[in-house]
Amino acid sequence: MVEALITVAIVGILLGIGFPAYFRMKGLARSTHCVSNLRQIGMAVNQAIAENAMRIPEMVPAREDKNSDEEALDTVLRPYVNDEAFFRCPADHVHLYEKTGTSYFWNSALNGQDLAAIDFLGLSKNSAGIPLVADKENFHKNVGDEVNVLYVDGHVTRELTFIIDP
pLDDT of residue 74: 93
In a domain, 107, yes or no: yes
pLDDT confidence bin for 143, thresholds 50/70/90: low
In a domain, 129, yes or no: yes
* pLDDT digit string, tens, across residues 99-133: 999 999 999 999 999 998 998 888 888 888 899 99
Structural domain boundaries enclosing 72: 2-157
Average pLDDT, the chain: 88
* pLDDT digit string, tens, across residues 18-63: 777 777 777 788 888 899 999 999 999 999 999 999 999 999 999 9
Q: Which helix (H) or strand (E) holds 122?
A: none
Q: Which amino acid is at 164?
A: I
In a domain, 85, yes or no: yes
Give CA separation, 132 vs 40, 73, 148, 153, in Å.
Answer: 13, 11, 11, 9
Give CA separation, 84 vs 26, 70, 78, 79, 102, in Å.
Answer: 22, 17, 7, 9, 9
In a domain, 81, yes or no: yes
Which of 50-64, 65-79, 81-95, 143-157 is least confident?
143-157
Q: What share of the chain is helix, strand, coil (3-state, %, to 5)?
A: 45, 10, 45
The pTM assigned to this predicted structure is 0.82
Give CA separation, 137 vs 5, 30, 107, in Å.
Answer: 45, 14, 14
Query: Structural domain tally of the chain?
Result: 1
In a domain, 80, yes or no: yes
**Whole-angstrom distance, CA of residue 51 vs CA of residue 2:** 74
